[in-house]
Amino acid sequence: MSLAVATEVAVSPEASRRRTFAIISHPDAGKTTLTEKFLLYAGAVAEAGAVKARAGRRRATSDWMALEQERGVSITSTVLQFTYRDHVVNLLDTPGHRDFSEDTYRVLSAADAAIMVLDVAKGIEAQTLKLFEVCRTRSLPVLTFFNKYDRPGRDPLELLDEIEAQIGLRPTPVTWPVGIPGDFRGVIDRRDGSFIRYRRTAHGATTALEERMDAQRAAVEEGEAWRVAREATELLDEVGATLQLDSFLAGESSPLFVGSALTNFGVRHLLDAIVDLAPSARPRADDAGVLRPLDAPFSGFVFKIQANMDPAHRDHVAFVRVCSGRFVRGMTLVHGPSGRPFSTKYAASMFGSARDTIDVAYPGDAIGLVNASGLQIGDTLYEGEPVAYPPIATFAPELFASVRPRDTARHKQFHRGLAQLEREGVVQVLRDPDGDPTPVLAAVGAMQFEVFVHRLADEFGAEAELVPAPYKAARRTDRATSEHLRAVPGVRTLARADGTLLALFDSPYRLQRVEQDHPEWCLDPVLQGPESG
């Protein structure tokens, strides 16, 4: 057997062991706690102690890096890998809170599934909604977790309605709570009708005690709480809200689990669902829609670029999602857009501030290529038969600021920096093709502007002055529509370097009005991606 054949044999089984997903949630819904508990259940940490120094964590730029400092465990700033039931789970971090940015969206392009974590007292919140929209554009399968059931919250049936009404995703509860929020006894496993009683352990430090029993015993021991829960599940049976694998994989329905990350209730079910229900790494379509087999030679695409803000390590790390083949550190790949060879001598898995060299990776994994300043977001790297993956979808920015150099004598440095940071996707840069030459920066999170100003000064020696621009919403548009928009007050059309035209609106109401009055105009919230071309 030739070496090439041996490699082919090895890739598929490895890919099918991979589960690569991201958590989408609103700040404080419990993403960090759940992540920590996944590690506990996977045996990656022995004990999840009460999380200390919360105040400190709040100030940190990345949840996971701070969590790492607190907990002394290795948590990467971008991807966390652990094994569970002989599967390799890659949990991709979607930056939250303060560091919400376009990266948050891009990371989802590298995931094969998502877990939507909702606080049972709050339901769907703004940030979850935005992230869910990204999942929808990719038809990404979404598992839902109702978190914080250990404390008072809303009626779970009402929450199901809310999910369906607000985001059009059909929740199909796999487990259903027994006891009201705040008096949470356990769950009915709807797959066999049994009851799983949870018992908390001190501070949720060790895995929750679970006792499984049949319905008769549960009815005797749980009385009214059991009766109410059964009534609800009968209702769910009647309306057909039961697990459907096909529609889950198509991103239409969402298996739902109930629990409390803090007390570990329901964490095991969720982790089991990742292994049992979520898809493994599958062949990915190239920009012509052709699937590249998993066993084909290596290919992957850059989904995130992280430039270290620490002046001691001024480097660029390009995160690549492996799509096919086996990655072996040191292999020379082809950089798709330029056709040039690319050496992977410096490949790493990013573990917070420390880095581990990564030697081998398979479809589903994410690798960090260090000092990869020639790479841009969306670039394909491959070996053998050429392939190009479709561009990563970008979404309508919501924050705008015009920018100019503080010191006009440094305008050269300013423009060089602007061009570089634009290429890296730190911010979007918009220009008026036939008007005011002052560029307008656009972003989805304020931190993108902070990073931009910092890096422009630090790396290019150009202090920039940012003035908030009076726009509140943007949509991708086309030439014909932009001609019409000229006549609409409070609207301006600008262009990105890649030619995408963006219509900026001075208020969300103006946008709403224009959309209502002219449904035939091109106003798309997805700026670029496989669907919108």
Q: Are 261 and 34 in contact (CB under 8 A)?
A: yes
Q: Are 402 and 115 in contact (CB under 8 A)?
A: no
Q: Are 364 and 11 in contact (CB under 8 A)?
A: no
Q: Are 182 and 151 in contact (CB under 8 A)?
A: yes
- Tell me how far, at minimum, the Cβ of 151 lies from ligand G4P, in Å: 4
- Tell me how far, at minimum, the Cβ of 523 lies from ligand G4P, in Å: 32
- Tell me how far, at minimum, the Cβ of 309 lies from ligand G4P, in Å: 21
- Considering only residues 11, 17, 22, 25, which one is a binding residue for ligand G4P as defined by CB under 6 A? 25
63 binds ligand G4P (CB under 6 A): yes
Distance CA 433, CA 216 (A): 73
29 binds ligand G4P (CB under 6 A): yes
Distance CA 188, CA 174 (A): 8
Residue of 12, 16, 18, 14 whose CA lies nearest to 88: 18
What are the helix (H) ranges across 239-315?
Answer: 245-249, 267-276
- Tell me how far, at minimum, the Cβ of 35 lies from ligand G4P, in Å: 8
Q: Are 126 and 26 in contact (CB under 8 A)?
A: yes
Site map (CB under 6 A) of ligand G4P, residues 325-354, x = contact: ------------------------------
Cβ atoms within 10 Å, residue 158: 9
Alpha-carbon 89 to chain mean position = 15
User: Segment near ligand G4P (CB under 6 A), from 31-39, 136-144, 184-192, 365-373?
Assistant: 31-39
Structure tokens at 447: 């931190």
User: Segment near ligand G4P (CB under 6 A), from 29-37, 80-88, 171-179, 431-439?
Assistant: 29-37
The residue among 153 and 364 lying less far from ligand G4P, judged by its C-beta, is 153
33 binds ligand G4P (CB under 6 A): yes
Query: Torsion over CA of 133, 134, 138 and 141, rounded to 10 degrees?
Result: -70
28 binds ligand G4P (CB under 6 A): yes
380 binds ligand G4P (CB under 6 A): no
Distance CA 516, CA 488 (A): 14
- Considering only residues 137, 147, 493, 528, which one is a binding residue for ligand G4P as defined by CB under 6 A? 147
The residue among 96 and 397 lying less far from ligand G4P, judged by its C-beta, is 96
Distance CA 332, CA 529 (A): 28
User: Segment near ligand G4P (CB under 6 A), from 28-36, 224-232, 287-295, 363-371?
Assistant: 28-36
The residue among 6 and 202 lying less far from ligand G4P, judged by its C-beta, is 202
Site map (CB under 6 A) of ligand G4P, residues 222-261, x = contact: --------------------------------------xx
Task: Give 298's contacts (C-beta < 8 A, 6+ positions apart).
Answer: 322, 324, 325, 326, 327, 331, 333, 381, 382, 383, 384
Q: Are 291 and 284 in contact (CB under 8 A)?
A: yes
Beta-strand pair 284-285/380-382: unpaired
Q: Are 299 and 38 in contact (CB under 8 A)?
A: no
- Tell me how far, at minimum, the Cβ of 96 lies from ligand G4P, in Å: 6
Residues that contact ligand G4P, how many (by CB under 6 A): 18
The residue among 117 and 501 lying less far from ligand G4P, judged by its C-beta, is 117
The residue among 93 and 424 lying less far from ligand G4P, judged by its C-beta, is 93
Cβ atoms within 10 Å, residue 373: 14
- Considering only residues 11, 19, 32, 380, which one is a binding residue for ligand G4P as defined by CB under 6 A? 32
Distance CA 38, CA 46 (A): 11
262 binds ligand G4P (CB under 6 A): yes
Q: Residues 83 to 102: which contact ligand G4P by CB under 6 A?
A: 96
54 binds ligand G4P (CB under 6 A): yes
User: Segment near ligand G4P (CB under 6 A), from 147-155, 194-202, 379-387, 502-510?
Assistant: 147-155
- Tell me how far, at minimum, the Cβ of 103 lies from ligand G4P, in Å: 16
Distance CA 184, CA 178 (A): 6
Q: Residues 100 to 119: which contact ligand G4P by CB under 6 A?
A: none
Distance CA 281, CA 112 (A): 7
31 binds ligand G4P (CB under 6 A): yes
The residue among 30 and 390 lying less far from ligand G4P, judged by its C-beta, is 30
148 binds ligand G4P (CB under 6 A): yes
Distance CA 364, CA 89 (A): 9
Binding site residues, ligand G4P, CB under 6 A: 25, 27-33, 54, 63, 96, 147-148, 150-151, 260-262
